[in-house]
Structure 1
């Protein structure tokens, strides 16, 4: 469930099981300009992770600091061009340069991007030192809707839409061919309430349901709660 202060900014959320016994809590902090400055994840007894955000005078994030209860802190830093594009990022001390052409990013760290004549990404190649290149390919339709993604491990995801352009399903055609694999999700179906996502259902390769999620709104778009239910619940 989500809670909001008078300014309609999210102040907190709670996680619970079907009996509504709390499992955890998320807390949010905002500055006077309406920018998110803090996020805390709480278990029943302690803060598990705290994230702090800083901005420049253009409202661009310049640093993200994550403090973990059971691990080292993680830090991200960003520098921007005069066109407000990321020029470089430094994540946990690792520097990544960003290059652009015609407002499209062509390289970001270990990843290179290629585009079609409409400016849509059609290929991403990740080249890490000491490893083979990993390649993703993307296919689009005439309405700029993503239709297919091919991943480096040979999997193929295909996407379907309704007449209003809303995504109704994504399906892994490789996994679906192995119907005996009962523990692999091969399809996700979506339901809508107007233009707001109201439910999704993950299905295994044999067609049986795996997980159903529902979103509850107030006034059509203000998210109040998300409900998740496994198939065996």
Structure 2
């Protein structure tokens, strides 16, 4: 990775590990105006009062509206003046998301208990939830509600036919399910409680490696290895035997912008 900055310290150029280049253009005031990939326009952006109002990605145009508290109120996506979908959001007095009006999926409303825990969703696919006094989820939809004996130390011990075992540090080490609980998935951890291995009932195995900062840098699933490259805390690329992917983020955030 190589970076270049403009006279006021803003990122202006970046060379990715695969040789691709990104050029960032900013408006006066520092707002991002556009990003070019290898000399071709990747995205363009319009801001107002510090909030993104419009984003163009190829033929897709995304537009955003906000309420007086800065919360997203509407989001629409169009292509060549043809509306693909639109969503509108509303909130309750406590700031919880109360409803979504989706042009493709219809309306959904969300309902909460006095502690602001989600207890039901109404719409095309209704959902319901039950919690214990500590906020642990005990039941969902028509599944049997767990009793408090199945949640010890805020760790779930059983859900349906699934039984969970933990080590002395609270890490999940085993999941047993199926007839006679014969389908067993096992998890292994290193001395820093990072997951380093998984074995599945069918015989598949996975292993994981980390760098000195705790970032996962490699996984191997049934002999096939994928390597991960990082920029600080952001994953910027992954490389496998026949695949290479780069990830681009919105400036100064962890929100993904594009996958190359």
TM-score between both structures, scaled by the size of structure 2: 0.60
Query: What pairs up with 1:58-73 in 2 under 5 angstroms?
Result: 58-65=115-122, 67=124
Query: What pairs up with 1:36-115 in 2 under 5 angstroms?
Result: 36-39=97-100, 46-48=103-105, 51-65=108-122, 67=124, 74-87=125-138, 89-91=139-141, 93-97=142-146, 99-115=150-166
Q: Distance in 1 between matches of 2:231 and 2:75?
A: 22
Q: Does 1:126 align with 2:177?
A: yes
Q: Distance in 1 between matches of 2:88 and 2:225?
A: 33
| Structure 1 residues without counterparts, runs of 5 or longer | 68-73, 177-185
| Structure 2 residues without counterparts, runs of 5 or longer | 1-54, 56-61
> What is the CA distance between 1:85 and its match in structure 2?
1.9
> What is the CA distance between 1:53 and its match in structure 2?
2.6
Q: Does 1:227 align with 2:254?
A: no
Q: 1:63 to 1:143 in 2, by over 3 A?
A: same
CA contact (8 A) 1:114 1:124 kept: yes
Deviations 1:146-198 (A, max 9, x none): 111111221111111111111122220x2x3xxxxxxxxx4443333322x24
Q: Distance in 1 between matches of 2:239 and 2:107?
A: 30
Q: Distance in 1 between matches of 2:248 and 2:226?
A: 15
Tell me the equivalent position of 2:227. Answer: 189
CA contact (8 A) 1:198 1:216 kept: no
TM-score between both structures, scaled by the size of structure 1: 0.66
CA contact (8 A) 1:149 1:156 kept: yes
Which of 228, 242, 247 is the matching residue for 1:214? 247
CA contact (8 A) 2:198 2:207 kept: yes
RMSD: 3.5
Q: Distance in 2 between matches of 1:14 and 1:201?
A: 31
Tell me the equivalent position of 1:201. Answer: 238
Q: Distance in 2 between matches of 1:222 and 1:4?
A: 21
Which one is further off, 136-145 or 1-10? 1-10
> What is the CA distance between 1:116 and its match in structure 2?
0.5
Q: 1:187 to 1:64 in 2, by over 3 A?
A: farther
Tell me the equivalent position of 1:166. Answer: 215
